[in-house]
Amino acid sequence: MSAGASSPWQQRGYAVLLAAPAAVALWLVRPELASVRETFAQPAPLAILLLFGAARHLPIRSVEPAVLGRVTTAPTFALALFLVAPPDVALAGIAVAAAIPRRSSGPCRVARWGTEFGHAVLLGLLTGALLVQFRLEAPSWSSVSTWWLLGTVLLVGTAVYLPDMLLRAGAAAAVTRAPLLVVLRQDRGAFEPRIHLLLVAWAPIVVLLSEQALVLLPVLLVAVIALAWSARATSVSEHEAYHDPLTGLANRRALEQRLDHLTATAKLDHRFAVLLMDLDRFKEVNDQLGHHVGDELLGEVGHRLADLSGIEVAARIGGDEFAFLVRGEHDYDDLTDLANRLVGEVSQPYVVGDVRLSIGASIGVARFPDHGLDATHLLRRADAAMYAAKRSGVPVGFAALSERGPVPGRLSLLGELDLAMQRGQLRLDHQPKVAVGTGEVVGVEALLRWHHPEHGIVPPGDFITTVEHTELIAPLTRHVLRTACEDRARWVVAEVELPIAVNISTRDLQDTRFPRDLAELLEDGGLPPEQLTLEITETALQVDPERASRVVAELGELGVRLAIDDFGTGYSSLAVLRHLRVSELKLDRSFVLGMEEDDAGVAVVRSVVQLAHALGLEVVAEGVEQESSLEALRRIGCDTVQGFLLSRPLPPHLVAPWVRARRLEREAALIDAGATAATEPPFEEAAVSAHGDARSLLRRVDRRGKPRLPLTRAG
Q: What is the pLDDT of residues 668-690, one digit of tens each?
A: 766 764 544 444 444 433 334 33
Q: Is the pLDDT of residue 168 over 60?
A: yes
Q: Residue 588: CA atoms inside 13 Å, Cβ hemisphere, count? A: 12
| Whether 244 contacts 339, CB under 8 Å | no
- Least confident among 87-91, 189-193, 484-488, 510-514: 189-193
For residue 631, the Cα-to-chain-centroid distance in whole angstroms is 50
| Range of 1-10, 166-175, 400-409 with top mean pLDDT | 166-175
Between CA 701 and CA 685 the distance in angstroms is 9
Sequence-ordered list of residues with C-beta below 8 angstroms from that of 586, at least 6 positions apart, any chain: 535, 563, 564, 565, 566, 567, 619, 620, 621, 622
Report the DSSP beta bridge partners of residue 352. Answer: 355
Q: Which residue has the higher pLDDT, 10 or 544?
A: 544
- Least confident among 307-311, 404-408, 538-542: 404-408
- Least confident among 309-313, 496-500, 626-630: 309-313
434: nearest Cα among 615, 634, 583? 634
Residue 75: the pLDDT is 66
Q: Could you give the C-alpha distances from 467 to 12, 414, 464, 476, 505, in angstroms and in order?
A: 45, 7, 5, 9, 10
Residue 613: the pLDDT is 92
**Percent of the chain at pLDDT above 70?**
53
Between CA 313 and CA 241 the distance in angstroms is 15
Task: Indicate the pLDDT class of residue 150, thresholds 50, 70 and 90.
Answer: low
Task: Indicate the pLDDT class of residue 418, thresholds 50, 70 and 90.
Answer: confident
652 CB neighbour count, 10 Å cutoff:
19
Q: Which residue has the higher pLDDT, 633 or 240?
A: 633
Torsion sign across C-alpha atoms 278, 282, 284, 287: negative
Q: Could you give the C-alpha distances from 89 to 53, 93, 492, in angstroms and in order?
A: 18, 6, 98
pLDDT, averaged across the chain? 72
Q: Mean pLDDT over residues 248-271, rounded?
A: 80
Angle at 114 between CA 132 and CA 121, to 5 degrees: 5
Sequence-ordered list of residues with C-beta below 8 angstroms from that of 42, at least 6 positions apart, any chain: 84, 210, 214
Q: Mean pLDDT over residues 341-346, rounded?
A: 90
548: nearest Cα among 287, 218, 352? 287
Letter string b/e over residues 16-29, b meaning 16 or more CB atoms within 10 A of that residue's CB: ebbeebbeebbeeb
Residue 300: the pLDDT is 92
3-state secondary structure at position 486: helix
| Range of 194-203, 214-223, 392-401, 512-521 with top mean pLDDT | 512-521
Between CA 361 and CA 352 the distance in angstroms is 18
- Domains of the chain are 8-242 (no CATH), 252-400 (3.30.70.270), 423-652 (3.20.20.450)
Residue 216: the pLDDT is 60
Q: Is the pLDDT of residue 173 over 50?
A: yes
Q: Which residue has the higher pLDDT, 53 or 261?
A: 261
Torsion sign across C-alpha atoms 539, 542, 544, 549: positive
Q: Mean pLDDT over residues 629-655, rounded?
A: 92
Q: Mean pLDDT over residues 232-243, rounded?
A: 66
Q: Can you state the angle between helices 473-493 and 514-525, rounded to 10 degrees?
A: 30
Q: Tell me the backbone φ, ψ of residue 562, rounded to 5 degrees.
A: -125, 135
| Whether 436 contacts 638, CB under 8 Å | yes
Q: What is the dihedral of CA 31, 32, 38, 40, to 10 degrees?
A: -130
Task: Indicate the pLDDT class of residue 635, thresholds 50, 70 and 90.
Answer: very high
- The runs of H, that is alpha helices, within 34-106 are 44-55, 74-84, 87-98
Residue 670: the pLDDT is 67
Tens-digit pLDDT profile for residues 533-573: 999 887 676 666 777 788 888 998 899 999 988 776 655 55
Q: Which residue has the higher pLDDT, 301 or 24?
A: 301
- The runs of H, that is alpha helices, within 367-468 are 375-392, 410-422, 464-467
Task: Indicate the pLDDT class of residue 395, thresholds 50, 70 and 90.
Answer: confident
Residue 154: the pLDDT is 58
- Least confident among 184-188, 302-306, 677-681, 709-713: 709-713
Q: Can you state the angle between helices 146-176 and 191-200, rounded to 10 degrees?
A: 170
Q: Which DSSP category does 398 fall into?
A: E
| Whether 70 contacts 77, CB under 8 Å | no
Between CA 323 and CA 382 the distance in angstroms is 9
